[in-house]
Chain A
Amino acid sequence: MRSIAAASDPTKHFFQPIIVCLTVASVALTLFVIWISLHDLSLMRAGREKFVGLDNYIRFLGDPRAMAALWRTVLFTTLATVIEIALGLAVVLFLDRDFVMKRLVRTLLLVPIIMTPVVVGLTWRFLFDPATGMANYVLSLVGIAQVDWLGSPQIALFSVLIADIWQWTPFVILLVMAALESAPTDPLNAARVDGAREWQVTWYVLLPMLRRALAIVALIRAIDSIKAFDLFYIMTRGGPALSTETLNYYGYIVAFTNFDISYALAIAIILTLFTNVALLTMYSVLFPKTGNR
């Protein structure tokens, strides 16, 4: 009886067509992408593709530019995620008290998040202008030598990182703040009654309660940093001397500057696999099976 009831469940008709469409589209797209990556397809000479097997993937392994880009992606993602989480958590703990304009502060923290990323990139490029930018002016006030923020291969990646941190730390703050507010206060008070110091309450009681929220936001930030594109395109275009070229950006260049779409898709597939492995590792560290969630 149950199976008959389930089969005629009319609510299925609401989502099945759409899920089927999305699934078919994704599967078709995946197959097409794999097919292209196994061929030698260039937009410069359309219609003359030939099967090349795994050549594009082998080419990736021997491509120093791609390897450097992969390493840069790892560096950027790790730094961005760790710094944004640490800084965001610090600000949340700092703001964890009642004060007059708390609602207003939350609203203002929203602004970088919803700002158009291209505009964020332009803004920081403006601030980092070597001659007339605000960043160097502030440095000159405290007597530090001028920095060539976006023009120096040693520094440019970190300048983009600063812009990324500026835009996304507020996101960490708001998300963790929401988790903190929905957390019960009893355990905190109980620990205080038991004579725990304030830092002990924070470290042993509060942080474990925020664990889930921190893990979620870390995963989201890691996913988005791996795919970061807008800031790089606007602020540095991968330069100077390729010093800010991430793998995603390199894939874009290969596809739309060199028009070598087969190799570009091989790069995109490798990037996707790499992301998945990294996230699964991260997931199993953040949510251990035996641990309490």
Chain B
Amino acid sequence: MARRALFYVGLVLLLLAVLFPLYWVVVTSFKTTRDAFAIPPVWLFSPTLDNYRTVFANRVFLSAFANSFIVSILSSALAVAVGSVAAYGLAQQPADLRRAREKFILSLRIAPALLFVIPMYYLATRIGALNKHWLLIAAYAFVNVPFAISLLITFFDDIPKELRDAARVDGAREFRVFWHVYLPAACGGIVATLILCVLFTWNEFFVALVLTGRDTQTLPVSITSFLTFQGIQWGALTAAATLIMLPMIVLGILVQGQVVRGMTLGSVKG
């Protein structure tokens, strides 16, 4: 009995450590400036939406929201569309050929983003594309395609081979098999891949920091503008932070079984 109690004490401490920082940011976003900086901290207070009003009155932040939305949806959709076609082909190949591809894809992951961001930045300044949405969409699609391929292969592998063979015997061409058999059968996996791409793109900071201009700033870049030299506006900052992360936490929980699988490129099925 004592062991059991001890276990639950440990569990509560673990969850406290995991969730307290998040809780504190979200709670602070509903506090007045006075409450936010009170020491000792105020645990009970009358909530205010002032911080959110400040954020929504900020045009830069609103356009960053739109930019993040457009860029992450379009680049992910592009990556998944291209990736699912390639993954279908690769899923039918013998194991040794696929392993070579997987190594290639892993090596793309090892290379630091700096390596491809600098030449892209250089070329973009030359052709004046630095403030264009398509540059960012192309960059993220390039990053997401290898990821989408390797994840989608694991979903296509889950589809029984008999389904394909049966359709082939009935005289279906490869594309028909892909379109009418594989896509519907792997629908859940494709949606999960799309969501994971959106999640990574939305959260991505480094590429966006370098390749965005005034009109294309995404949310993670835009939020750093609250870190001014005059001091940090923690109230508005925590409200903005909450708005940025909340949609991703909802999406992530929707596909929770696939997140770990996605982050290990399918080498572990979560």
- B71 interfacial contact with A, CB 8 Å: no
B90→A15 contact, CB < 8 A:
yes
A275→B269 contact, CB < 8 A:
no
Q: Which of A195-240 contact B (CB under 8 A)?
A: 213, 216-217, 220, 223, 226-227, 229-230, 233-234
User: Which among B6-14, B44-52, B55-63, B186-194 touches the partner chain?
Assistant: B6-14
Contact string against A for B residues 77-120, beta-carbon threshold 8 Å, 1 for contact and 0 otherwise: 00000110111111011000000010010001111111110110
Contact string against B for A residues 269-288, beta-carbon threshold 8 Å, 1 for contact and 0 otherwise: 10110011001000000000
B101→A19 contact, CB < 8 A:
yes
Q: Within 8 Å CB of B219, what residues of A?
A: 116
Contact status of A123 and B25, CB under 8 A, knowing A178-B268, A229-B206, A230-B206? yes
B244→A256 contact, CB < 8 A:
no
Within the assembled complex, what's the spacing in Å between the Cα atoms of A107 and B22? 14
* Residue in chain A with minimal CB distance to B234: A126
Q: Residue B18 contacts which of A109, A119, A137, A217 (CB distance < 8 angstroms)?
A: A109
B11→A99 contact, CB < 8 A:
yes
Q: Within 8 Å CB of B25, what residues of A?
A: 119, 122-123, 126
A107→B202 contact, CB < 8 A:
no
Shortest A243–chain B CB gap in Å is: 19
A116→B248 contact, CB < 8 A:
yes
Beyond A14-B88, A116-B241, 19 extra complex contacts between A and B, CB < 8 Å: A14-B90, A18-B82, A22-B145, A29-B119, A32-B119, A36-B119, A36-B122, A108-B18, A110-B259, A115-B249, A116-B219, A116-B220, A124-B21, A132-B37, A175-B264, A182-B269, A227-B112, A229-B206, A268-B114
30 contacts between A and B (CB under 8 A): A14-B85, A15-B90, A15-B149, A18-B83, A18-B145, A19-B86, A91-B14, A94-B10, A108-B15, A110-B253, A110-B256, A111-B249, A116-B220, A118-B223, A122-B241, A126-B234, A131-B39, A178-B268, A178-B270, A179-B268, A217-B264, A227-B112, A229-B206, A230-B206, A248-B114, A251-B114, A255-B114, A265-B114, A271-B112, A275-B110
Q: Which residues of A contact B (CB under 8 A)?
A: 9-16, 18-19, 22-23, 25-26, 29, 32-33, 36, 41, 43, 46, 91, 94-95, 97, 99, 105-120, 122-124, 126-127, 131-132, 134, 137, 166, 170-171, 174-175, 178-179, 182, 213, 216-217, 220, 223, 226-227, 229-230, 233-234, 248, 251-252, 255-256, 261, 264-265, 267-269, 271-272, 275-276, 279
Q: Which residues of B contact A (CB under 8 A)?
A: 7-8, 10-11, 14-15, 17-19, 21-22, 24-25, 28, 36-37, 39-41, 82-83, 85-90, 92-93, 101, 104, 108-116, 118-119, 121-122, 125-126, 142, 145-146, 149, 173-174, 178, 199, 202-203, 205-206, 209-210, 219-220, 223-224, 227, 234, 237-238, 241, 244-245, 248-249, 251-253, 256, 259-260, 263-264, 267-270
